[in-house]
Chains A and B, each alone.
Chain A
Amino acid sequence: MTARLPDPPRAPPLAGSGPGAPYLNPYLAGIGLGLVLLAAFVLVGRGLGASGAFSSTLSWFVNLVAPAHAQANLYMQDYLGDGTTHPLKAWLVFEVVGVAAGALFSGLLAGRARFTVEKGPRVSTAIRLLCAFAGGMLMAFGAHLARGCTSGQALTGGALLNVGSWAFMLMVFVGGYSVAWFMRWQWR
């Protein structure tokens, strides 16, 4: 045992604490999410996702400021297409805009929407923001390598018993738990 244990967190993320209404029972939230996913399968024949929307948006933006570079880039070509449709007119882009709107609605309803920076008690805001940016960069690499993120691969592929998705999901937990100890100063 270490000599000095960190104080157990009393404020969020424990359910029910902090300003705003208590969080929904995770199982009920999961059922809600699952039903939305099922609706996607039945209505459109595909699941949910998020990382693709970032790729589309980035490709569109780069095409705006440096079209030659964007159109020559092998990866961005897939998201720009042959010019017949606007790159932002993509299913995932519309879905992600919906995610923002839905989350805002829920947050406002529960009184949990506020301008803040989520961080542990021992880390400075500046460092936290730096880590957030770095985490996002890592996440982008991981998601594009795996052809999806937790929404697209883990949730969607998991429900459809997709082999790659289950392998991916397992490794996400392995990766996360492996570095958690080394990042604990950020969260506790």
Chain B
Amino acid sequence: MRLPQLTLNQKLGVAALVLGALALFSQPHRGPFVKLDARELALVVEQEVDHVTPTELAAWIVEGRADYRLIDLRTADEFESYHIPTAENAQLPALNDYPIQRNQKIVLYSEGGIHSAQAWLLLRAQGYEGVYTVLGGLDGWKDEVLFPTLPAETGPKERARFERAAVVARFFGGEARTDGAPAASAPAVALPKLVSPAGPAQPVAPGAPRKKKKEGC
């Protein structure tokens, strides 16, 4: 059977139709099914580059850094009663549709760290590379940042570190403790008044000279 001779334009048309038909099965945006590189992820966990400590996070907040998104994975009520300053609230199932982009730095925390670890794995599997959990979760935050305790060995270096931690604790509305009582017994803390902006940091108030319009035509 001889195929008919097609002009260039007709060939282009056929090519377009074929590609268009094949595209029927396409899924250019990420769907719910993911691919996991188990070895790579295990390595990341072992090298401990998958988390940040509460102290590090506290330093970022104090510095007023705006290059990360902090996500609180607890329920809305728990979020209302207290959340780490600059945090946003999103539960695990909602994370899939949450407006976070793959080129952003995303820090997750939950009460103790289990949910944040699970969310970490799910996000990493979907191609988010800059994902971190807060080591110890909110419990760790209370222990290290809000209510730091004076360590047993009190050399000058440890005392200096404790002083700094006490200043940071006061900044966040907490209180350094010298009685050695564990943080879990401390009362729930009211949301402290913040110097740095609460919620995702917005660079300038509206009305002030804004950064130039970057995208758009």
**Which chain A residues have a beta carbon within 8 Å of chain B's beta carbons?**
25, 27, 31, 46-52, 71, 77-85, 87, 90-92, 143, 147-149, 151-153, 156
B residues within 8 A CB of A153? Answer: 217
B residues within 8 A CB of A85? Answer: 212
B216 in complex: contacting residue of A71, A81, A147, CB < 8 Å: A147
In whole Å, how far is B146's beta carbon from the nearest beta carbon of chain A? 36
Q: Is the CB of A148 within 8 A of B217?
A: yes
Residue of A nearest to B103 (CB): A45
A residues within 8 A CB of B217? Answer: 47-52, 92, 143, 147-149, 151-153, 156
Interface size class of B (residues with CB under 8 A): 10 to 19
User: Are A25 and B210 CB-contacts (below 8 A) given A49-B217, A92-B217, A152-B217?
Assistant: no
Q: Is the CB of A78 within 8 A of B209?
A: no
B212 in complex: contacting residue of A25, A51, A79, CB < 8 Å: A79
In whole Å, how far is B55's beta carbon from the nearest beta carbon of chain A? 33
B9 in complex: contacting residue of A27, A148, A149, CB < 8 Å: A27
Q: Is the CB of B12 within 8 A of A77?
A: no
User: Are A81 and B9 CB-contacts (below 8 A) given A52-B217, A152-B217?
Assistant: no
Interface members, chain B 193-217 (any A CB < 8 Å): 204, 208-217
* Residue B38 at the chain A interface, CB threshold 8 Å: no
A residues within 8 A CB of B204? Answer: 82
User: Are A81 and B215 CB-contacts (below 8 A) given A25-B8, A27-B9?
Assistant: no
Main secondary structure on B side of the interface with A:
loop
B residues within 8 A CB of A52? Answer: 213, 216-217
Q: Is the CB of B9 within 8 A of A77?
A: no
Q: Is the CB of B212 within 8 A of A90?
A: yes
Q: Is the CB of B216 within 8 A of A83?
A: no
B residues within 8 A CB of A148? Answer: 216-217
In whole Å, how far is B102's beta carbon from the nearest beta carbon of chain A? 11
Q: Is the CB of B209 within 8 A of A25?
A: no
A25 in complex: contacting residue of B9, B208, B213, B216, CB < 8 Å: B9
Q: Is the CB of A82 within 8 A of B213?
A: no
With the chains together, A85 CA to B9 CA distance in Å? 47
Per-position binary interface string of chain B over residues 21-33, scored 1 when its CB falls under 8 Å from any chain A CB and 0 otherwise? 0000000000000
B residues within 8 A CB of A51? Answer: 217
Q: Is the CB of A81 within 8 A of B8?
A: no
In whole Å, how far is A33's beta carbon from the nearest beta carbon of chain B? 14
B residues within 8 A CB of A78? Answer: 210, 212-213
A residues within 8 A CB of B212? Answer: 78-82, 85, 87, 90
Q: Is the CB of B213 within 8 A of A79?
A: yes
With the chains together, A27 CA to B7 CA distance in Å? 12
Most-contacted residue by chain A among B209, B211, B212, B213 (CB, 10 A): B212
User: Are A84 and B211 CB-contacts (below 8 A) given A50-B217, A148-B216, A153-B217?
Assistant: yes
In whole Å, how far is B13's beta carbon from the nearest beta carbon of chain A? 9
Q: Given A49-B216, A80-B212, A90-B212, 6 other A-B contacts at CB below 8 A?
A: A50-B217, A52-B217, A85-B212, A87-B212, A148-B217, A149-B217
